[in-house]
Chains A and B, each alone.
Chain A
Amino acid sequence: MQSETKSRIDKITTPTGHPLAVLRFEGDIASTSREAVLGLYQTLPKEETKTVLLDFTKVEYINSSGIAIVIQLLMEATNAGQKIAACGLSAHFTKVFTMVGITKYASLYASQEIALTAL
């Protein structure tokens, strides 16, 4: 019943020349999304990846189990000294992420374009 989480990595460069890994998610972010979210993140070489952008533009449903997986990603990234940001969340999930405190550890941007100018 839960739609499968699809995910992929795009490596791009910001307008100021900083390399960036973008993790793009599609579908639901729920308890079944561990491999698609955390597993995919863990394939990034930590030494070479200083900034990671999580793209939720094509995500329609995130529940508390999915948020917990995002928090685990943030934990690993923080321990590795990486900067994490997120883009493409709906207004509702921007509110939810803010409520649970994620904004203390990850900046949220409306779109990838806006994120790239800020990162």
Chain B
Amino acid sequence: MSESKATRVEVRLPSRLGYEKVAMSTAASVAKLVGLAPDRIEDLKTAVAEACINAIEHGNRMNENLSVGVVLQAESGALEVKVLDDGKGMRTQPRKPDIDRKMHGQEDPRGMGMFLMQALVDEAEWVPGVDGASSYVRLVIRLDKEA
């Protein structure tokens, strides 16, 4: 399926851990349709999963009355994924995990999600909501780039 015009797909997820897999499956399906290489689809799936987990845990604070929006848009040789929540957004930049510090109990063993997102896609941007809510992370993966 060759894509010469914009393709937009939207999904809304409950703020419940595990439902990030719905976003992963959707992202994988769209990525396959627009011709992303299989290894890059795996990269995208993990990045999207981590973005959704952050949105569920930190953005929406596990409040099941709130949903997580996932918007996929394929255009101009790239697939863009926005994951939206009702939080204030991330103010810190991703930091590469220091395995030695983690192994010595000097750093939380968790906290690798943002790093993985940034490492696995071509662009990762955290955008705070203008009114202190409705923030999103924007992930971009280019269709012509190898992993």
Contacts and interface: CB of A to CB of B under 8 A. Distances in A.
Interface of A: 1-2, 30-32, 61, 63-65, 67-69, 71-72, 74-75, 78, 90-92, 95-96, 99-102, 104-105
B103 A91 contact: no
B53 A105 contact: no
A1 B99 contact: no
Interface of B: 16-22, 24, 39, 42-43, 46, 49-50, 53, 97-100, 102-103, 105, 108-113, 115-116, 119-120, 147
A100 B112 contact: yes
B109 A92 contact: no
What 7 A-B pairs have minimum CB-CB distances, sorted nearest first? A1-B18, A101-B99, A92-B42, A2-B18, A68-B109, A68-B110, A64-B112
Contacts of A95: 147
B97 A1 contact: no
A1 B19 contact: yes
Query: Per DSSP, are chain B's interface residues mostly helix, strand or loop, or mixed?
Result: helix
B90 to A, nearest CB: 14
A75 B103 contact: yes
A106 to B, nearest CB: 10
Nearest to A63: B49
Contacts of B53: 63-65
Given A68-B109, A101-B99, A2 B21 contact: yes
Contacts of B147: 95
Contact of B99 (A64, A72, A90, A100): A100
Contacts of B112: 64, 67-68, 100
B139 to A, nearest CB: 15
Given A31-B17, A65-B53, A74-B103, A101 B97 contact: yes
A92 B102 contact: no
A40 B81 CA distance: 37
Contact of A105 (B103, B110, B111): B103
Given A31-B17, A61-B21, A100-B99, A92 B43 contact: yes
Given A1-B18, A92-B42, 13 more contacts: A1-B19, A2-B17, A61-B21, A69-B109, A71-B99, A74-B103, A75-B102, A92-B39, A99-B116, A100-B115, A101-B97, A101-B98, A104-B100
